[in-house]
Amino acid sequence: MTFRPAALRTREFIKPRLLAVAACLLSVIILPGHSYAQADSAYLPILRSLRIFGAKTIPAQKIREELITPLPSWLPWKKPPVFREGELNADVDRLKNYYRRQGFYHAEITPRILLVADGEVDVELHIKEGPWIKVTRLDLKPPPAELPLNLAELDAKRPLKVGDRWDEGAYEALKRFYLNFLLDHGRPRGKVAGKVWLDEEKDTAELELTITPGPLCYFGEVKIKGDPESPERLIRRKLTFKTGQPFSHKELYETQQRLYALDLFQSVSLTPEEVPESERRIPITIEVQERKKRSLKVGLGYGDEDELRARLGLRFRNLGGGGRTLDLDGKASSLEYRAQATFFNPLIFATNNDLVLQTGYIRRYLPTFTDKAYFTSLRLERDLPHKFRAYAGHALEFSRPFNIPEETIILLSDTTPGKLYYASMALLGVRQETWDNVADPHRGGLFSLTSEFAPDFFGSTVQFIRPLAEIRRYHAPWGTDFVLAGRIKFGIIQPIQNTTEIPVFRRFFAGGYDSVRGYRLDYLGPRTAGGTPLGGEALLEGSLEVRIPIYKEFRAVAFLDFGNVYLKVHDLDVGQLRYSSGVGLRYQTPIGPIGVDVGFPLNPINPNQDPPYRFHFTIGQAF
């Protein structure tokens, strides 16, 4: 990094930093706070509060994070910190240097110490930010037209643009931005260097980046180390690149994530090998370390609808070798009991298809009915490009409903309590998961499209077609913890052949914590005269949610939910949607966020009877 001559009163960035460090050390030694540092903490005043005034561009929270002065906690049981004036003076110098790095070369910071009681002080930091340095020129050398890459598409995505405030961090991010582009487009030997001219009198910054793309390189031979028990062909199938393709760091990362998703490996590393400068093909070494053969998962949670819930899961890895897994899961709550076994056999019959066999038992205790069912399914699954995974298969289900209100039986004449219903279904589906964290996603999302087809020639006693689609998206603007989330879900179940009406246990229901939060569980849509939900043959629901960081692991939530259930498919009408809005609070834990939400129905079904709000307490995000 170089600068214009001293006539423009420019300075190297390293010098203010060294001066600030020296000033911090001197202030602790020679400033009035020195007497405090030598005294016992019992004779030092207590810091009751520290307030910041005048911070307009830089958030006050960011300024507090730069301080070394211990700050009082908002928790009443935490002991307030002692106050040392030397630490405050060091913080003033620290903040001036911090403001310079953010592009404020004329910032003034004035501390005020106010004695509010015997042995207690308040501290005020009064900040005059002043004008900031503006980026007036950003040149690339050589120009993009002379480079063997199309860099024009990156202009709108630059982390630092002409007209922006100068920021050292953004400048370094700008260089990494172009370097990452080279690494992801076959140029692992590329380099990006920069020059900056700062004019403190005119408050301007001119930038120049020199891009040296280097030779176009390709993926070479892939070697696997670690002597894994999992078959080598399973590892190679998860590669997102092939030998001879242009080199890309992004593809290495995607391959690593796909290998971790198998849940067979404790560690996965992909390392490009060192080769001579003249060599264009870069071999890749994959080294894996396998996880334990068995693992046990125990989970406890609570929700206002399902109350206390528990889960016990046992996983067997590499069962019989070949990367096979077996999962035994049990779940229990006031709403349902479930026991399920899932067997996963990758690359069945030496193909790229995976075999998934599931079987289990479920018993539900829902507001409208109680039922129990035995089910089994057999699917062939396959990875597709762009993180899609498709499947096709067959499922059997034996269901028996109980405890159905008389009014429901009259209105749904094809629903018979105690009758054993048999469904034999063809399964088709596709799913794409792009989220960065399943428990608490910040970016990416989910796309799911499933369908069930149960005709009479499969032997089904209830015949239907049931497609169901769901989309979820998450976005954290500016790379922060501020998250915008949205989802929409749409499904229909259409009776066919000899079935004229879908039994109650197969119908759609809506309302509740993971649906429309201002309404009672399953109580949206058509009901009997006594208020019992009937369910429907069509479902449409969705949510918009804002997740706002407050303090450390605490977040606030504001949401708008909508949805409804329709008796028949032809009754579907978006004008009949029910809406609810609300707010919530989350505390992030290693097992997911613990939260409480309060939802307010905006157009209640029975304004004089339905409660004006509903509380929900649970572990995990609503979606």
Does residue 303 lie within any of the structural domains? Answer: no
Q: How far apart are CA 34 and CA 37, in angstroms?
A: 5
Return the amino acid letter for 442: H
Domain containing residue 554: CATH number: 2.40.160.50
Q: How far apart are CA 245 and CA 185, in angstroms?
A: 10
The boundaries of the domain holding residue 139 are 134-212
Residue 97 scores a pLDDT above 80:
yes
Q: To which residue do tokens 């897994």 refer?
A: 325
pLDDT in the model for residue 300: 81
CA angle 269–270–276, rounded 5-degree value: 135
For 491, the token pair is 């499904």
Could you tell me if 60 and 177 lie in one domain?
A: no
Contact (CB, 8 A) for 400 and 418: yes
Q: What's the distance, Cα to Cα, between the start and end of the chain in Å?
A: 47
Could you tell me if 458 and 516 lie in one domain?
A: yes
Paired with 388 in beta bridges are 432
Could you tell me if 248 and 277 lie in one domain?
A: yes
The whole-angstrom distance between residue 185's C-alpha and the CA centroid of its chain comes to 27
Contact (CB, 8 A) for 337 and 310: no
| pLDDT-derived band at 11, boundaries 50, 70, 90 | very low
Order across the sheet with 108-117: list the strands: 46-53, 120-128, 108-117
Q: What is the CA radius of gyration of the chain?
A: 31
Cis link prior to 231 (omega < 30° from 0)? no
pLDDT in the model for residue 295: 94
Going from the C-alpha of 432 to that of each of 155, 354, 506, 518, the distances in angstroms are 29, 16, 26, 30
Cis link prior to 142 (omega < 30° from 0)? yes
Q: Which of 319-328, 393-402, 473-482, 564-573 has the lowest mean pLDDT?
A: 473-482
Q: How far apart are CA 2 and CA 142, in angstroms?
A: 18
DSSP state of 64: H
Does residue 349 lie within any of the structural domains? Answer: no
Taking the C-alpha atoms of 532, 536, 540 and 544 in order, what is their torsion angle to the nearest 10 degrees? 20
For 503, the token pair is 């039994």
Could you tell me if 170 and 222 lie in one domain?
A: no
DSSP state of 47: E
Could you tell me if 389 and 526 lie in one domain?
A: yes
Q: How far apart are CA 266 and CA 287, in angstroms?
A: 11
Domain finish residue from 182, 212, 242: 212
Residue 8 scores a pLDDT above 50:
no
Does residue 343 lie within any of the structural domains? Answer: no
Of the candidates 177, 13, 165, the one whose C-alpha atom is nearest the C-alpha of residue 97 is 13
pLDDT, tens digit (0-9, with 9 covering 90-100), for 550-595: 888 899 999 999 999 999 999 999 999 999 999 999 988 876 788 8
Could you tell me if 10 and 117 lie in one domain?
A: yes
| pLDDT-derived band at 33, boundaries 50, 70, 90 | very low
Phi and psi angles of residue 237, each rounded to the nearest 5 degrees, phi first: -65, -25
Could you tell me if 91 and 139 lie in one domain?
A: no
For 538, the token pair is 């069509």
Element counts in the chain: helices (H) and strands (E): 8, 26
Does residue 430 lie within any of the structural domains? Answer: yes
Could you tell me if 506 and 377 lie in one domain?
A: yes
DSSP state of 41: G
Contacts of 461 (CB under 8 A, 6+ apart): 421, 422, 423
Q: How far apart are CA 161 and CA 205, in angstroms?
A: 11
Q: How far apart are CA 622 and CA 603, in angstroms?
A: 21
Mean pLDDT in residue range 231-243: 91
Question: Which DSSP string do the residues of 566-594 spell out, in sequence order?
Answer: ESSGGG--GGG-EEEEEEEEEE--TT--E
For 537, the token pair is 């043959």
Domain count, the chain: 4
pLDDT in the model for residue 277: 87
Question: Which DSSP string do the residues of 244-284 spell out, in sequence order?
Answer: TSBP-HHHHHHHHHHHHHTT-EEEEEEEEPP--TT--EEEE
Q: How far apart are CA 394 and CA 219, in angstroms?
A: 40
Domain finish residue from 212, 240, 274: 212
Does residue 615 lie within any of the structural domains? Answer: no
Could you tell me if 107 and 254 lie in one domain?
A: no
Of the candidates 248, 312, 327, the one whose C-alpha atom is nearest the C-alpha of residue 282 is 248
Q: How far apart are CA 555 and CA 266, in angstroms?
A: 31
Could you tell me if 17 and 70 lie in one domain?
A: yes
Does residue 201 lie within any of the structural domains? Answer: yes
pLDDT, tens digit (0-9, with 9 covering 90-100), for 481-503: 899 999 999 999 999 999 999 99
Does residue 90 lie within any of the structural domains? Answer: yes
Contact (CB, 8 A) for 107 and 98: no
pLDDT in the model for residue 28: 39
Mean pLDDT in residue range 455-476: 95
Does residue 361 lie within any of the structural domains? Answer: no
Of the candidates 566, 509, 491, 489, the one whose C-alpha atom is nearest the C-alpha of residue 367 is 509
Could you tell me if 372 and 484 lie in one domain?
A: yes
pLDDT in the model for residue 622: 67
Domain containing residue 50: CATH number: 3.10.20.310
Could you tell me if 204 and 222 lie in one domain?
A: no
Residue 18 scores a pLDDT above 70:
no
Domain finish residue from 166, 181, 212: 212
Residue 41 scores a pLDDT above 70:
no
Of the candidates 214, 152, 146, the one whose C-alpha atom is nearest the C-alpha of residue 183 is 214
